[in-house]
Amino acid sequence: MITFWHDDNPWRDDVVYVTLEELAECVDKGNGLVRLPDDVAVSYDNRWLMNHWQLASNALDAYILPQPSGDHSIGVRWGSLGSQYFSPMAHKERTQALLDKRTKTANEVSQ
């Protein structure tokens, strides 16, 4: 998987990279708001996020940040500045299933 902002990501040692499409499926639909540059807040779902993420940049890193509690964070980084990431609310079960899949795949590759 190609990453663009790994060296700039403060969580680089802990994140598990996924595809943008996979990450969008982990979004907890209907539970979040995103504030647009014109200071208007809109609710988001995975389709809205996919449209905006893909239009925003061709250099995006999608990732899961595992948490000890099991309520993992998900995010998209689009730049080198600390603030250039978006972390929508994650759907716990879908995120855990994707993390399990990626961890299993990584373990199989390393053997």
Each residue's pLDDT, cut to its tens digit, for the chain (111 residues) gives: 789 999 999 999 999 999 988 988 888 766 566 666 667 777 777 677 777 776 556 788 999 999 999 899 999 898 899 888 888 888 899 999 999 998 886 666 665
* CA 52 – CA 92 distance, rounded (Å): 23
Domain that holds residue 96: 12-110
Residue 79 lies in a domain: yes
Residue 3 lies in a domain: no
Structurally, how many domains does the chain consist of? 1
Residue 65 lies in a domain: yes
Residues 76 and 5: beta-carbon distance below 8 Å: no
Count of helices and strands (H, E) across the chain:
3, 6
pTM here is 0.77
Residue 40 lies in a domain: yes
Q: Residue 85's pLDDT is what? A: 86
Candidates 42, 34, 46; CA nearest to 85 is 34
Q: Residue 70's pLDDT is what? A: 86
In this structure, is the dihedral angle defined by the CA atoms of residues 56, 47, 84 and 93, taken in order, positive or negative? negative
